[in-house]
Structure 1
Amino acid sequence: MTIELKPLTAADAEAHCAGEDELTVRWLTGGYGDVEGTAGYFEELAANAAAGVGKRGLGIWKDGRLCGYVDYTPDLADGIEPDDVALAYGVHPWARGQGVAVEAVRLICDVLRADVVGKRAAIRVEPENTASVRVAQKAGFRYVRDYPSSRDTQPDGTPTIFSLYLLDL
């Protein structure tokens, strides 16, 4: 199995949207994307990468096929320290349970080290998202604490509770 991270382009939007399911919506996006909006979002991520600011995202490719997404946000100020870099990821259903997310997290951490972005990688995960908790643990992150988000809320309006996992870069 070969896992690679590559910049996403507008041409990848259709395959990306086709890989969304209930779990992707529940834990990552909050709603299903459409091809046009997703293509625009990928262009924003590319512009951020070119400028070296804000959230940057990459596609996860398994054996040459798009199978997910990973991003990093170096300036998120919700429960993490200023030098921490927040990671988020999602894997399409057909590629789950194969170690893809763990390898993608390891690869994005290599990117952060090479580009000298932040001092620690941070995974903020709802404790009920047991698959993502396992990814953090298998990728070598250490559990730090649970905390209420200052920006994310549940459908009933209460703050989302996140478990924070950190890895020194």
Structure 2
Amino acid sequence: MVVELRPLTTEDVEAHNAGEDELVVRWLTGGYGTIEGTAEHFAVLADNAAAGVGKRGYGMWVDGRLGGYVDFDPDLDDGLEADEVNLSYCVHPWARGRGVAGEAVALVCALLRSDGIGRRAAIRADPENDASLRVADKAGFRFVREFVSGTDRHPDGSPATLRLYLLDL
């Protein structure tokens, strides 16, 4: 299996949205993407990448097929200290259970190191998201603490408690 990261383009919108399922919505997006909304999001990520600022995202290409999404956000500070860079990811159902997210996280961490972005990579995960907790563990992140998020919410509107995992870059 070969996992590559590539910037997402408007040609990837339909494949990306088709890969969303109840787990992606529950753990990452909070709702299903639309063609217009996803295209707009990809454009923002591309603009940020071109400027070298803010959240930047990539498609996880698995053996040449879009198998998920990963991004990093050096500006997110909910539960994080300065120079800790938040990572988020999702894997399409067909690609799950193959180590795709762990490989993508390793690739993003290598990119952060080479570009000198941040001091530590951070994964903030819901304690019930077993798959994300496994990714953090297998990728060598260390558990730091649980905290009540100031931004993330449960579907009922209550604040989410998240686990913070860090990896020195």
> How far does residue 33 in structure 1 lie from its aligned partner after superposition?
0.4
Question: 5 Å matches for 1:90-169?
Answer: 90-169=90-169
In the alignment, structure 1 residue 37 sits paired with structure 2 residue 37: yes
When the two structures are superposed, what TM-score results if normalisation uses the length of structure 1? 0.98
Does the residue aligned with 1:97 lie in a helix, a strand or coil? coil
- The letter of the residue matching 1:40 is E
> How far does residue 157 in structure 1 lie from its aligned partner after superposition?
2.4
Does the residue aligned with 2:144 lie in a helix, a strand or coil? strand
**Structure 1 ranges of 4+ moved more than 4 A:** none
CA distance in 2, matches of 1:32, 1:153: 16
Percent identical:
67
CA distance in 2, matches of 1:81, 1:150: 14
Aligned residues: 169
Question: 5 Å matches for 1:61-100?
Answer: 61-100=61-100
CA distance in 2, matches of 1:52, 1:152: 26
CA distance in 2, matches of 1:106, 1:152: 25
- The letter of the residue matching 1:124 is R
Unaligned runs of 5+ in 2: none
CA distance in 2, matches of 1:19, 1:151: 25
- The letter of the residue matching 2:5 is L
Tell me which residue corresponds to 1:22. 22
> How far does residue 35 in structure 1 lie from its aligned partner after superposition?
1.6
Greater Cα offset, 146-155 or 61-70 = 146-155
**1:8-65 deviation digits (Å, cap 9, x = unpaired):** 0000000000000000000000000012211111011000011111110000000000
Q: CA RMSD in A?
A: 0.6
CA distance in 2, matches of 1:156, 1:16: 27
Unaligned runs of 5+ in 1: none
CA distance in 2, matches of 1:54, 1:89: 16
CA distance in 2, matches of 1:86, 1:165: 10
